[in-house]
Each structure stands twice: as structure tokens, then as C-alpha cells.
Amino acid sequence: MKVGVIGGGQLGRMLSLAGTPLGMQFTFLDPAVDACAAAVGEHLLGGYDSQEHLQQLAQTVDLVTFEFESVPAETVAFLEQFVPVYPSANALRIARDRWFEKSMFKALGIPTTEFADVLSQADLEAAVAQIGLPAVLKTRTLGYDGKGQKVLREAADVVDAFAYLGNVPCILEGFVAFSGEVSLIAVRGRDGEVLSYPLVHNVHNDGILHLSVASDEHPLQALAQDYAERVLKELDYVGVLAFEFFEVDGGLKANEIAPRVHNSGHWTIEGAECSQFENHLRAVAGLPLGSVEKVGHSAMLNFIGSIPATADVVAVADCHLHDYSKAFKPGRKVGHATLRSQSAQRLQEQIAALEALLDS
């Protein structure tokens, strides 16, 4: 089976590393000459809005999927004329727009923060009057890793905030006083079968994921799965979907969904029986899903900007390095490592040993 992927970054690269053993062959459409997925597949060098390249891709593959959601809706609609595309244009349309996404949560009875649509500075002022401060103004689309947002703490912050984010459609979200951040990686097959990995505890630094720890019988697992299943069914979704939640007062408030494999699911490569990458591919290819059971205890630590010396990283006990072969650059995700252990106690020691390398 030939799989086309929109985007050729580390997620595409890891999709190929998981799918090549299934006999799949990958083609990545990416405008970057140094797309890191090119090491493990064909690289179609072209823009996401180039009909010529999209058509070329569609003609050479059996199906198309995505490694990021910020794809123009027209791109997906164009592709769907020629080749099966998973997840669907409709799922991407909802997931890439914070207003559609939160409106869907509300319609499905999934608790989320207060929010308001902001299409102008006047809208923003009305929304602040309604929701109060502090609050967060975010662009409806294209935001990630803390980009495309501004925290509003006092009245002075509101002035010109809409212009600050570029005079584009925004959403104002009430501040959530949360006790923790968790994410659920769920997968839905073409036949509607849904499986969910154990909830993951996430720690962010400066808006970028730093550490994910797979949980052990989390008390909110069933609730998170219930919410995810509502969304997956609503969107008639096919593939992996990541669902980020805030833990609030012993319950969950939905933060956002990502219609793709997700950084907080990277631990599944070594830490689960079947990884999120393989399960995404099984789902889009119409194959039976694989087991989402944990294998021992696992944690994932991101390498942001740079990676310590390979010899030091792999010297940490049961440490699995994933170097994306990307040029080092401040703030850029260039790799991660998964730590696996038979004991939760020992896992903490391994995390400490790996974090010590980051500080040195």
C-alpha cells in the first residue's frame, strides 16, 4: 500500500518507521528541502496549496493522511476528489479552528472553558466584559506550541490585542485554574472501532511539551474516553486523535483536539504494544487496530532546540532516543527520548538522569 502524507516532519518520519514494516511505502508532500521524513520515503517537494503537486501525490498513492492539521480546507477538498483522505475534510475543518472545536465540545456536552468568538477589537471588548479577566486570546487557526496567543491579565492588555495577533479571527478563552494537564490518544478504525491508550500526564515549559508520563489506572480514564468517543463519532473520524484536557476539581475540561498522531503519544512506540503511529496507519488503511496496552512504565521527554550527545542519552538505562535529524534551532522540537521501566519508582530516577543531561 502506498501512503501519501501531507507534511514531512518528524511525525511523518515516525509514521513511515511504523508503517514500512507493514509493507507500506510513503510519499511526503512538503515544501521544505530538508524535510526530515525524506530519509524514510519519497519526498515530493511542493507547497500544500499547489494543485499540481497535490494531483501528482493523489495519482501515486492509495490514500492520503496528514501529519499536521493546519492544511487549507481547499487542499483536502481537492485531494478528496481523487483519493481517499483520512481523517476527512470535515474533521480537519473542525479541529483546525478553535471556535468550531469548542462549539462542538459544547454541543456534545463536554465541559470546556468559557469562550467567545472574536472577529474584531469591539468583539474582544464585549467578550472580556462577558468572560472577565484573566483570559487568553488565541487565533482561531494556525496556533501551536504557545504560538498565536496572548494572555490578557488586566484592562491594559486588552488594548490593541486583536491587532497584536494580526487582525485575524480569534477566540477568547476564560482562564482555567487547573491542577494538571492530561491527554488521551484515541484511535478509530474505518469500521467505527475505538481504542484509547492510557491517559498521559503532560508537563509544558513555555507552552511547549516537556514531559509526558503514561498513567496507571487513572481515575479519569473512563470519563476521558467517553468524551473522546463522542467527538470521534460526531466527526465520523478515522485515525488517531489526540484530546488534551485540563484536570479541574476532580473532573476534566476539554482544551483542544489534534486530528493526528501527537507528541504526547510518542511514548507508545516503546511503551505500548502497538504504537500510535502503527494504529493510525492501521486505522486509515482499514486494518484491525492493535493493542493499546501499556508495556511496563513509560515516560517521554522532548528535546527542544538541541539534543545532548547521543552517547550520553543512550547511556541512560532503557532510554530510547529519537533524533529527528533536524537542524538544531532554539524552540524547535528536534528529538525526544522514551524511558521504559518495570517500576514507577525507577522510572523517576531515569527521568532525573535524562533531565540532568538537559541542564548540563
- CB-wise, 317 or 356, nearer to its own copies? 317
Q: Minimum distance from CB of 321 to its own copies (Å)?
A: 6
- CB-wise, 41 or 174, nearer to its own copies? 41
Indicate whether 25 belongs to the interface with its own copies (CB under 8 A). Answer: yes
Q: Minimum distance from CB of 40 to its own copies (Å)?
A: 5
Three-state SS for 192?
Answer: coil
Q: Half-sphere exposure of 3 toward its Cβ, with a 13 Å CA cutoff?
A: 30
**Among residues 81, 205, 306, 325, which is the contact residue for its own copies, using CB under 8 A?**
325
DSSP letters, 115-142, are EEEESSHHHHHHHHHHH-SSEEEEESSS
Q: Is 175 annotated as a binding residue?
A: yes
Q: Is 146 annotated as a binding residue?
A: yes
Q: Minimum distance from CB of 197 to its own copies (Å)?
A: 15
Among the listed ranges 10-18, 54-62, 75-83, 86-94, the one in contact with its own copies (CB under 8 A) is: 10-18
Q: Is 278 annotated as a binding residue?
A: no
Indicate whether 109 belongs to the interface with its own copies (CB under 8 A). Answer: no
Indicate whether 353 belongs to the interface with its own copies (CB under 8 A). Answer: no
Indicate whether 13 belongs to the interface with its own copies (CB under 8 A). Answer: yes
Indicate whether 96 belongs to the interface with its own copies (CB under 8 A). Answer: no
Residue 248 identity (one-letter amino acid): V
Q: Minimum distance from CB of 349 to its own copies (Å)?
A: 15
With contact defined as beta carbons under 8 Å apart, do 137 and 162 qualify? Answer: yes
Q: What is the CA radius of gyration of the chain?
A: 20
Nine-digit cell string for 174: 476564560
The C-alpha cell 522540537 sits at: 333
Q: Show contacts with its own copies in window 293-322 (CB under 8 A).
A: 295-296, 307, 310-311, 314-315, 317-318, 320-322
Instruction: Give the ranges where the chain is alpha helix by DSSP (H).
Output: 10-19, 51-60, 73-80, 89-95, 98-107, 121-131, 155-158, 161-164, 221-234, 268-271, 276-284, 310-315, 344-359
- CB-wise, 110 or 261, nearer to its own copies? 261
Which of 255, 223, 257 is CA-nearest to residue 113? 255
Q: Is 204 annotated as a binding residue?
A: yes
Give the helix/strand (H/E) hosting 27: strand 25-30
Q: Measure the CA–CA gap between 4 and 284, rounded to whole angstroms.
A: 11
- CB-wise, 37 or 220, nearer to its own copies? 37
Q: Minimum distance from CB of 210 to its own copies (Å)?
A: 20
Q: Half-sphere exposure of 116 toward its Cβ, with a 13 Å CA cutoff?
A: 20
Q: Show contacts with its own copies in window 274-293 (CB under 8 A).
A: 274, 282, 286-288, 290-291
Integer angstrom CA distances of residue 34 from 41, 126, 288, 350: 13, 45, 34, 33
Q: Under the rule (CB under 8 A), what is the footprint of its own copies?
A: 13, 16-17, 20-23, 25, 39-41, 273-274, 282, 286-288, 290-291, 295-296, 307, 310-311, 314-315, 317-318, 320-325, 335, 340
Which residues participate in the annotated binding site?
Answer: 98, 138, 143-149, 173-176, 181, 204, 255-256
